[in-house]
Amino acid sequence: MNYLLRQSRRVVRLAKAWLKFKVHGSPKRAPQYVLLLFEARCEPCPHYDPDLKECSICECPVSPDVDERNKLLWATEECPDKRFLADEQNGSESEPHSETGGTVGL
């Protein structure tokens, strides 16, 4: 039962994230930014599960790869522990690092 509940919550979260991604025009982060976010934020994070290659808080896949399932590729996604923001929420004045012109904030 716990497994079904966990999977149901995961599907709902994915559906919400996908809808937000599509509503904003499917903005993706540049490959080098995905790698930077992974190495600087997720890989050293205590919530990163290297066995499952996912975040233990949101249960999303995170990796350095340009993979459609990778949370870090979607510029509308942010860290549930506020270690990085969605690109459009990042008020930094730094150079753009995503294909959408978003900013890093690292």
* 45 close to 81: Cβ distance less than 8 angstroms: yes
Give the residue with the Cβ less far from ligand SF4, 1 or 51: 51
Pairing verdict, β 48-49 and 54-55: antiparallel
Give the footprint of ligand SF4 on this chain (CB under 6 A).
41-42, 45, 47-48, 55, 57, 62, 79-81, 83
Q: How far is the CB of 67 from ligand SF4 (least distance, A)?
A: 15
Residues, the chain, total? 106
Q: How far is the CB of 64 from ligand SF4 (least distance, A)?
A: 12
